[in-house]
């Protein structure tokens, strides 16, 4: 019987399955069944390799070659093949192989159900080992295995509960399909088998993953299998992940990469790769493919949600091609549609938008958007073009030089404004976004403002604040806010009939928080001219001040949910309420009552504390400015008590001495030490009342980084030491008790801006009128130096104030006092 040279398969050599070997099949030297029998001159037959080895040994030992069986010397060491015997042996071996394969197949099929017993795995392992040995012995045996129908049985072992069986099955399948397309097709016919192999890619066991990717690599060399692999959900994602892995075996990573390159032959696979971050195949086909392939790739590109870094890569590599398709008059409508949708996605990133501008996207884009008549783009594609233009403008890369005549000419801007008013909501929204971007840049806003004025578009733009679509309302509010510094009075007039709509947006509490539209509406209202008394009156009649004050209080208490829109809303609301403080002298005291009723003074003081750490400089600025306006009214709003009747003798003495009714001492009878009457922060807007919290918070603002905030805070504090108060010296002491004198002096010494210097010199001069303070400050050389600097370089008014301050410090002689004293002496 023939003996096999593979290990572990002895149980397959069952005499009931095999024909016994004839004695003539056996080599006398090897005692094995021969593969290549040859005959020597004695007529005996041996295995070719065995007899040639015998002859070499004879010659090496110096002997004449002999017959191994008879020991007779040979005249020549010639050999001749025994073809008939070799054929007989091959036929015998083939019959036995068929029988052994049948047994292996039966053993595999009998183990098709999962087996938990490790011993039960031995039979399929031996069967798989035998088949593997056969295929390694001869590649022709791979076809025999297929013809015997064994490939499905081997594939079924992939679901075995034994890892050893699964590993052996994966390896055997790779051997079977390697270099054999028929076996690939046989294995790939079962979609379930492909899916099972792919599942191994997500396995935690490293060897299973590596064997699975090697098998997939071989299968992917056949085109139909490429489609089937790509059709399995998650297959390409797993391969992409493995191909970019840093932890897997480098050989396995290369197999995954090679598999993906094979899969690239099919467009659907390329799309999936792009969806999973492997975009280069798509870009390559887009650039180098046929027009049909380019169209398909552009369509895919327009459907993808790309990461920002990927957008930059696409813009760099494919941007010039896509722009050339836009420019070409010969491009079909489907090609332009696919290109525009791809560009819409790519342009939504600042860096990629800049690249597209550099390769010349703007002229053809604007041309297509504004073109009318035959050959123009349908409205649905104009919408896409408008979205691309909005992306380009929003990127911040479109300056006056880049836009030039293409976008900033009066004719183009007029056409855009006309298109906004005569299209559907989708295009309106995108074109409004374009204008928002242009007006948001100092380099381009003037051109847009001029075009709005020259085209008479103000009214039509204002009307969009009442649009049915929230996005359109929002973009129109942003646009109007951007242009309000340049055409505030015109907007205030145009908005007259639409204030109700704006305020309804502000009042809307359905979201439970602050919406972007509310923030934009409040911001627009806050940017309108604060001294437009007609507008102030309309806002008062519509309840705007009450609603906004209430909203700010709720935000401060936390009863309204906070989000990123709270800050801009707060800024706009504070600016609107600041209007009330500008109108305190108007309307016969109406706005004083409004400020009292709404508690504006305490509200602004609270905002100073709340916003010091939030970075909302505008809120601090307008709160301080509002407190200045309110405090300036305290002198006339304080309730000065009637003087108590004095004894008659005292009255006669005062009359004889030329005096009047004696004034009450500061703080007497509970009166305000600064204003001399009964004060409160809420009713008379007195900053010195309420525990001086207002003063303390204004003093804290003197150390702010924004010079405008410092100036506004200093102006508010100055109202306590000015001519409009009953006792300016007490006002100085109030500021001193809040530890504010040194910060005021520091503002003077720092000399940050001309306006701030002027304000600080005035305040310091008022402080120095208090003799004790002047004596203390005189010792500080830096204060005197700062005043000298203001005296030398300030404007006329500042120089005069600095001169008075220096006299308080005795740095300049008081000549007028000396003159009057000398004159009095001469008269005596």
DSSP 38: E
Asked whether the beta carbons of 369 and 362 are under 8 A apart, the reply is no
What is the average per-residue pLDDT within 51-69?
Answer: 93
pLDDT band at 119 (very low <50, low <70, confident <90, very high): low
Please report, for the chain, how many H helices and E strands are present, in that order. Answer: 45, 3
Q: Radius of gyration (Cα) for the chain, nearest Å? A: 48
Question: d(Cα 24, Cα 456) in Å, to the nearest integer?
Answer: 112
Picking from 611, 636, 661, the residue at the C-terminal end of a domain is: 636
Pair 544, 630 in one domain: yes
pLDDT at 585: 85
Pair 614, 712 in one domain: no
Is the pLDDT reported for residue 252 higher than 50?
yes
Q: Say which range, 94-98, 352-356, 389-393, 723-727, has the weakest mean pLDDT.
A: 94-98
pLDDT at 396: 82
Pair 624, 712 in one domain: no
Percent of the chain at pLDDT exceeding 70: 90
Strand partners, 236: none
pLDDT at 174: 94
Question: d(Cα 637, Cα 686) in Å, to the nearest integer?
Answer: 9
Pair 612, 703 in one domain: no
pLDDT at 287: 92
Residue 783 lies in a domain: yes
Question: d(Cα 422, Cα 416) in Å, to the nearest integer?
Answer: 10
* Count, residues in the chain: 828
For the sheet containing 45-47, what is the strand order? 45-47, 37-39, 80-81
Pair 625, 508 in one domain: yes
Q: From 92, 133, 109, 156, select the one nearest 7 (Cα to Cα).
A: 133
Is the pLDDT reported for residue 656 higher than 50?
no
Question: d(Cα 36, Cα 82) in Å, to the nearest integer?
Answer: 8
Q: From 476, 487, 409, select the one nearest 436 (Cα to Cα).
A: 476
What is the average per-residue pLDDT within 266-291?
Answer: 91
DSSP 203: -
Is the pLDDT reported for residue 818 higher than 70?
no
What lies within 8 Å, CB to CB, of 389 at 6+ separation is 365, 366, 369, 430, 431, 434
Is the pLDDT reported for residue 193 higher than 60?
yes
Q: How many structural domains compose the chain?
A: 3
Pair 584, 706 in one domain: no
Question: d(Cα 757, Cα 358) in Å, to the nearest integer?
Answer: 47
Picking from 81, 115, 148, the residue at the C-terminal end of a domain is: 81
Residue 345 lies in a domain: no
Is the pLDDT reported for residue 3 higher than 90?
no
Residue 780 lies in a domain: yes
Pair 700, 621 in one domain: no
The enclosing domain of 517 has a CATH number of: 1.25.10.10
pLDDT band at 118 (very low <50, low <70, confident <90, very high): low
Pair 701, 610 in one domain: no
Question: d(Cα 404, Cα 362) in Å, to the nearest integer?
Answer: 10
Is the pLDDT reported for residue 816 higher than 80?
no
Pairing outcome for strands 37-39 and 45-47: antiparallel
Buried b / exposed e over 299-318, threshold 16 CB at 10 Å, is: bbbbebebeeebbbbbbbbb
Concatenated DSSP letters of 307-356:
-HHHHHHHHHHHHHHHHHHHH-TT--HHHHHHHHHHHHHHTTSHHHHHHH
pLDDT at 441: 87
Question: d(Cα 633, Cα 270) in Å, to the nearest integer?
Answer: 74
Is the pLDDT reported for residue 652 higher than 50?
no
Q: From 285, 287, 232, select the one nearest 261 (Cα to Cα).
A: 285
pLDDT band at 377 (very low <50, low <70, confident <90, very high): confident
Burial of 324 (0-12, 13-18, 19+ CB in 10 A): middle
pLDDT at 134: 85
Is the pLDDT reported for residue 821 higher than 80?
no
pTM here is: 0.73
Buried b / exposed e over 610-634, threshold 16 CB at 10 Å, is: bbbeeebebbbbbbbbbbbbbbbbb
**In angstroms, how far is the first alpha carbon of the chain from the final one?**
159
Pair 623, 721 in one domain: no
Q: From 271, 342, 256, 349, select the one nearest 308 (Cα to Cα).
A: 349
The enclosing domain of 71 has a CATH number of: 3.30.40.10
What is the average per-residue pLDDT within 314-323?
Answer: 94
Burial of 231 (0-12, 13-18, 19+ CB in 10 A): middle
Q: Phi/psi of residue 7, each to 5°? A: -90, 150
Residue 826 lies in a domain: no
Is the pLDDT reported for residue 13 higher than 50?
no
- CA 207 to chain CA centroid, Å, is 39
451-499 residue pLDDT tens: 999 999 999 999 999 999 999 999 999 999 999 999 999 999 999 888 9
pLDDT band at 114 (very low <50, low <70, confident <90, very high): low
What lies within 8 Å, CB to CB, of 359 at 6+ separation is 319, 320, 323
754-807 residue pLDDT tens: 999 999 999 999 999 998 888 888 788 898 899 999 899 888 999 999 999 999
Is the pLDDT reported for residue 643 higher than 90?
no
pLDDT at 194: 93
127-185 residue pLDDT tens: 888 889 888 888 888 998 898 888 998 998 898 888 999 999 999 999 999 999 999 99
Residue 778 lies in a domain: yes
Buried b / exposed e over 564-600, threshold 16 CB at 10 Å, is: ebbbbbbbbbbbbbbbbbbbbeeeeeebbebbbebbb
Is the pLDDT reported for residue 587 higher than 80?
no
Which three-class secondary structure string do you get for 695-760? HHHHHHHCCCCCHHHHHHHHHHHHCCCCCCCCCHHHHHHHHHHCCCHHHHHHHHHHCCCHHHHHHH
Element spanning 627, H or E: helix 617-631
Pair 502, 631 in one domain: yes
Pair 510, 627 in one domain: yes
Q: From 349, 333, 444, select the one nearest 382 (Cα to Cα).
A: 333
Residue 266 lies in a domain: no
What is the average per-residue pLDDT within 647-673?
Answer: 53
What lies within 8 Å, CB to CB, of 35 at 6+ separation is 47, 86, 89
What is the average per-residue pLDDT within 687-702?
Answer: 89
Domain span at 782:
695-817
Q: Say which range, 18-27, 545-554, 816-825, has the weakest mean pLDDT.
A: 816-825
- CA 518 to chain CA centroid, Å, is 24
pLDDT at 84: 93
Q: From 821, 762, 822, select the one nearest 794 (Cα to Cα).
A: 762
What sign for the dihedral angle of Cα 578, 580, 586, 591?
A: negative
Question: d(Cα 402, Cα 408) in Å, to the nearest integer?
Answer: 10
Which three-class secondary structure string do you get for 469-536? CHHHHHHHHHHHHHHHHHHHHHHHHHCHHHHHHHHHHHHCCCCCECCHHHHHHHHHHHHCCCCCHHHH
Element spanning 81, H or E: strand 80-81
pLDDT at 179: 92
Angle between helices 291-303 and 333-346 (to 10 degrees): 40
Q: Which residue has the higher pLDDT, 292 or 654?
A: 292
Residue 237 lies in a domain: no
Residue 337 lies in a domain: no
Picking from 614, 636, 658, the residue at the C-terminal end of a domain is: 636
Angular region, 795: left φ>0, alpha ψ -120 to 50, beta rest:
beta
Burial of 245 (0-12, 13-18, 19+ CB in 10 A): middle
Pair 628, 719 in one domain: no
């Amino acid at each position: 019987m023939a003996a096999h040279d593979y290990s572990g398969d002895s149980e397959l050599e069952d005499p009931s399955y095999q024909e016994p070997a004839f004695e003539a099949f056996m080599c006398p030297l090897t005692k094995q069944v021969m593969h290549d029998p040859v005959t020597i001159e004695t007529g005996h037959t041996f295995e070719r390799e065995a007899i040639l080895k015998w002859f070499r040994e004879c010659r090496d030992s110096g002997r004449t070659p002999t017959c191994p069986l008879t020991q007779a010397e040979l005249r020549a060491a010639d050999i001749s093949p025994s073809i008939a015997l070799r054929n007989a042996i091959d036929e015998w071996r083939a019959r036995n192989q068929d029988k052994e394969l049948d047994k292996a197949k039966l053993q595999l099929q009998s183990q098709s159900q999962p087996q938990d017993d490790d011993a039960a795995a031995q039979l399929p392992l031996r069967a798989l080992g035998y088949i593997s040995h056969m295929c390694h012995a001869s590649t022709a045996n791979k076809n025999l295995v297929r013809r015997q129908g064994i490939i499905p049985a081997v594939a079924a072992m992939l679901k075995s509960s034994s890892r050893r069986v699964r590993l052996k099955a994966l390896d055997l399948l790779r051997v079977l399909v390697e270099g054999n397309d028929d076996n690939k097709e046989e294995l790939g016919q079962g979609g379930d088998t492909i899916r099972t192999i792919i599942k191994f890619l997500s396995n935690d066991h490293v060897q299973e993953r590596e064997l699975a990717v090697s098998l997939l690599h071989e299968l992917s060399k056949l085109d139909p299998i490429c489609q089937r692999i790509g059709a399995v959900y998650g297959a390409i994602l797993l391969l992409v992940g493995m191909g970019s892995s840093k932890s897997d075996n480098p050989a396995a990573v290369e197999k995954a990469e090679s598999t993906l390159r094979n899969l690239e032959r099919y467009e659907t696979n390329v799309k999936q790769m792009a969806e999973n971050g492997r975009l280069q195949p798509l870009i390559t086909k887009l650039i180098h493919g046929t027009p049909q392939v380019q169209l398909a790739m552009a369509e895919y590109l327009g459907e993808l949600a790309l990461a920002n870094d990927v957008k930059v890569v696409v813009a760099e590599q494919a941007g010039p091609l896509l722009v050339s398709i836009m420019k070409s008059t010969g491009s079909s409508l489907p090609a332009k549609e696919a290109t525009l949708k791809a560009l819409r996605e790519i342009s939504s990133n600042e860096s990629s938008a800049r690249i597209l501008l550099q390769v010349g996207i703007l002229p053809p884009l604007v041309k297509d958007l504004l073109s009318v008549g035959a050959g123009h783009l349908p409205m649905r594609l104009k919408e896409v073009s408008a979205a691309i233009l909005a992306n380009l403008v929003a990127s911040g890369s479109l300056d006056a030089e880049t836009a030039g005549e293409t976008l900033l000419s009066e004719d183009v801007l007029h056409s855009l404004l006309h298109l906004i008013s005569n299209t559907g909501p989708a295009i309106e929204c995108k074109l409004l976004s374009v204008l928002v971007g242009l007006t948001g840049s100092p380099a381009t806003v003037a051109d847009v403002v001029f075009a709005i004025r020259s085209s008479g578009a103000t009214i039509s733009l204002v009307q969009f604040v009442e649009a049915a679509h929230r996005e359109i309302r929002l973009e129109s509010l942003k646009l109007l806010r951007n242009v309000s510094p340049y055409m505030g009075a015109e907007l205030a007039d145009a908005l007259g009939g639409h204030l109700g709509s704006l305020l309804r947006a502000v009042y809307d509490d359905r979201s439970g928080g602050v919406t972007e539209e509310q923030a934009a509406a409040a911001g627009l209202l806050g940017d309108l001219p604060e001294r437009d008394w007609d507008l102030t009156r309309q806002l008062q009649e519509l309840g705007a001040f009450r609603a906004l004050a209430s909203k700010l209080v709720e935000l401060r208490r936390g009863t309204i949910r906070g989000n990123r829109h709270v800050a801009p809303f707060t800024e706009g609301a504070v600016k609107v309420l600041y209007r009330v403080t500008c109108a305190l002298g108007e309307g016969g005291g109406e706005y004083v009552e409004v400020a009292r009723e709404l508690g504006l003074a305490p509200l602004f003081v609270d905002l100073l504390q709340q916003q010091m750490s939030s970075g909302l400089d505008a809120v601090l600025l307008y709160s301080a400015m509002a407190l200045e306006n309110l405090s300036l009214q305290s002198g006339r709003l304080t309730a000065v008590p009637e003087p108590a009747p004095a004894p008659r003798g005292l009255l006669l003495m005062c009359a004889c001495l030329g005096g009047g009714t004696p004034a009450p001492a500061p703080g007497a009878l509970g009166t305000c030490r600064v204003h001399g009457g009964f004060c409160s922060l809420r009713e008379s807007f007195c900053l010195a009342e309420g525990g001086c919290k207002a003063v303390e918070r204004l003093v804290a603002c003197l150390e702010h980084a924004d010079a405008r905030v410092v100036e506004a805070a200093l102006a508010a504090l100055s109202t306590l030491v000015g001519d409009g108060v009953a006792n300016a010296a007490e006002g100085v002491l109030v500021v001193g008790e809040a530890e504010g004198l040194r910060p005021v002096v520091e503002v003077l010494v720092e000399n940050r801006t001309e306006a701030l210097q002027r304000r600080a010199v005035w305040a310091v001069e008022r402080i120095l009128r208090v003799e004790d303070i002047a004596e203390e400050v005189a010792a500080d050389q830096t204060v005197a130096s700062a005043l000298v600097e203001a005296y030398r370089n300030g404007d006329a008014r500042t120089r005069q104030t600095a001169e008075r301050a220096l006299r308080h410090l005795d740095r300049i002689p008081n000549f007028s006092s000396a003159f009057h004293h000398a004159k009095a002496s001469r008269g005596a």
